[in-house]
Structure 1
Amino acid sequence: MAVATKPQKSTRSSEKTDALVWLYSVLLTLQYGAQPLISKRFTRREVIVTSFVLMCEIVKVVCALNLMAKDGGLKKVYKDWTLVGALTASGLPAVIYALQNILLQISYKNLDSLTFSILNQTKILFTAFFTYVILRHKQSIQQIGALFLLIVAAVLLSIGEGSSKGSSSGNADQKLFYGIIPILVASVLSGLASALCQWASQVKKHSSYLMTVEMSFVGSMCLLLVTSKSPDGEAIRQHGFFYGWTPLTLVPVILNALGGILVGLVTSHAGGVRKGFVIVSALLVTAVLQFIFEGKPPSLYCLLALPLVVCSISIHQKYPYQVKKKES
């Protein structure tokens, strides 16, 4: 009787984990999809970008610490936390993400929105690649096909977004060295950082909440170093940290912080590849919300991408890689 009970407990635990993963994924999709519209509506143009980002990190840390306190994680952190462990698990990914954001800003200024959006989707493939290299998580043939379906859907959505915006013209060498190369390097770094976060949470058993706190701290330190000699730093010194803020500005700040915590939970429980599906699905959510609140109908490309996203998610979930006897 005892032998028969264990598989039932294991099955129930697995089902509970799957349910949590889907809940986190759906919430993250809604957050990603709603964030652009909410930020646009509640954030004035005068708000200094660096102050907004730093405030997001502060709120993220406060939320993560509260959640750790509720589940009893703070006591364990107090006993087991080490600087070396923190730098190994969270320091490197945080620095990589900071470098990635700088490269994205350089690329965004030198590419039209369509090219930028399309090339930015390659991070999904790099995430799958580094997940295999670092964690040896293989993808089945069907899952590889699902990833390419997702890339096609992302390209269609990018075309739909870029078709309504004028494409910039400029020097070909400048586009290559200051546009295309930076965003491709940023995509590689994004895939590497995502795989490292997954390794830290799944192999090193590093708490996703603790990683959120550590990465926010390291990322904020990097941002402060860059800001000290940037136009944003000068603007903060002249006008103050909260220049242009209103009470409503806290709405996108809190939403962004909650999204950061959800990213950690999704990566911890489901891996970085799932995050790629969330990001592309969120583009559809944004299109729907724009239609509901702004009366802007979804483009034909968006309607074509919808079934591709649904199919890719379904296939990737239904046909996981089966470990062969020799491999096991």
Structure 2
Amino acid sequence: MATNAVKSKKSTPRSDKTSARIWFYSLLLTLQYGAQPLISKRFIRREVIVTSSVLTCEIAKVICALFFMTKDGTLKKVYNEWTLVGALTASGLPAAIYALQNSLLQISYKNLDSLTFSMLNQTKIFFTAIFTYFIMRQKQSIQQIGALFLLIIAAVLLSIGEGSSKGTSSADAEQILFYGIIPVLVASVLSGLASSLCQWASQVKKHSSYLMTVEMSFVGCLCLLLSTSKSPDGEAIRQHGFFYGWTPLTLIPVIFNALGGILVGLVTSHAGGVRKGFVIVSALLVTAMMQFIFEGKPPSLYCLVALPIVVCSISIYQKYPYQVKKKEL
């Protein structure tokens, strides 16, 4: 008994330190996640080619991750232990998925208001829970399953509202549906799959989150570069140049997004893909507040109805985790 007490006392500082680190990363991610839609909309012009901004963001991620690895002294160790097979196993598939997801999000940014985009993007939690169950056998409680269904109801509500509440032409409604709502929902599915794969690599395979960022960015860049041979973006780059439509301010959302990608890796590695719920709740509030402050645009009726549903669903999910039943002797 005494030995167990000593062990628990010794483990407490480490546990507290890890918890504080998770809260710190989560706070930063909350600010980034909440502000990103507004920053992207304000500083990325519609003429900017999506592939050019995504590629630049991936390069910025690599630079940031290498800087952090150099700072904490893990770069040399990671370099000596790195293998191509290990990199492809841990990061290859998630990288390709994230590359497609980022492109879809860039399209959606331009065709939805910031708060609607953020709330629709929350469906990634539902898909993360599904993929986490199949990949890592992480079960959900009855309350958590109910909370995830509430989240989907909110997403459907927003989809109907965005398509019908503006009172504009059917062409505008189709623009919102096919270039705003559908891309962000597909991106949420891809995000859930990639997040589960990353959690598996970091928690089961013990792969460094910074290293995964570098590997995934390289693979993502290769996928995007290959796609430019046939894609409209590739044709636009060849015709107008890589930085067509860019201004010096365009770098702000690109770098901001790159830092967010690193923070997502850190939070997923330490807390898991689904247990980022409070980050997303806080990010929704940050988005709504910033949209009102900087754009003078109050949330729509549909957003006001859907917002408490989203908040309740994620709060319930966090409050009632799955409990493993102890077998009676």
Report the TM range for the smaller structure's normalisation.
0.7 to 0.9
**Is 1:320 aligned to residue 321 of structure 2?**
yes
Is this contact kept in 2: 1:93–1:215, CA < 8 A?
Answer: yes
Amino acid at match of 1:270: A
After TM superposition, the score normalised by the length of structure 1 is 0.82
Amino acid at match of 1:263: V
**Is 1:274 aligned to residue 314 of structure 2?**
no
**Is 1:291 aligned to residue 288 of structure 2?**
no
Partner of 1:194: 195
Cα distance 1:192–1:49, how it changes in 2: closer, same or farther (>3 A)?
closer
- What are the residue-to-residue correspondences of 1:178-257 with 2, within 5 Å? 187-257=188-258
Distance apart, 1:262 and its partner CA: 1.1
Distance apart, 1:215 and its partner CA: 0.6
Q: How many residue pairs are counted as aligned between the two chains? A: 320
Is this contact kept in 1: 2:127–2:192, CA < 8 A?
Answer: yes
Is this contact kept in 2: 1:29–1:278, CA < 8 A?
Answer: yes
- Output the CA distance in 2 between the equivalents of 1:183 and 1:258: 20
Distance apart, 1:68 and its partner CA: 0.9
Distance apart, 1:295 and its partner CA: 0.8
Unaligned runs of 5+ in 2: none
- What are the residue-to-residue correspondences of 1:120-139 with 2, within 5 Å? 122-139=123-140
Partner of 2:74: 73
Distance apart, 1:260 and its partner CA: 0.6
Is this contact kept in 1: 2:90–2:207, CA < 8 A?
Answer: yes
- Output the CA distance in 1 between the equivalents of 2:35 and 2:273: 21
Q: Report the secondary structure of 1:274's partner residue.
A: coil
Greater shift, 41-50 or 194-203, is seen at: 41-50
Cα distance 1:93–1:308, how it changes in 2: closer, same or farther (>3 A)?
same
- Output the CA distance in 2 between the equivalents of 1:322 and 1:148: 20
Percentage of matched positions with identical amino acids: 82
- Output the CA distance in 1 between the equivalents of 2:79 and 2:264: 24
- Output the CA distance in 1 between the equivalents of 2:308 and 2:180: 31
Q: Deviations over 1:164-184 (max 9, x none)?
A: 4747469x9xx99x9999987
Cα distance 1:82–1:290, how it changes in 2: closer, same or farther (>3 A)?
same
Cα distance 1:104–1:258, how it changes in 2: closer, same or farther (>3 A)?
closer
Cα distance 1:18–1:155, how it changes in 2: closer, same or farther (>3 A)?
farther
- What are the residue-to-residue correspondences of 1:158-197 with 2, within 5 Å? 158=159, 161-162=162-163, 163-164=165-166, 166=168, 168=170, 187-197=188-198
How much is the aligned-residue C-alpha RMSD, in angstroms?
3.6
**Is 1:24 aligned to residue 63 of structure 2?**
no
Partner of 2:304: 303
- Output the CA distance in 1 between the equivalents of 2:117 and 2:298: 23
Unaligned runs of 5+ in 1: none
**Is 1:92 aligned to residue 90 of structure 2?**
no
Q: Deviations over 1:4-43 (max 9, x none)?
A: 2321232333333233323323322221221121122222
Partner of 2:142: 141
Q: Report the secondary structure of 2:274's partner residue.
A: helix
**Is 1:263 aligned to residue 261 of structure 2?**
no
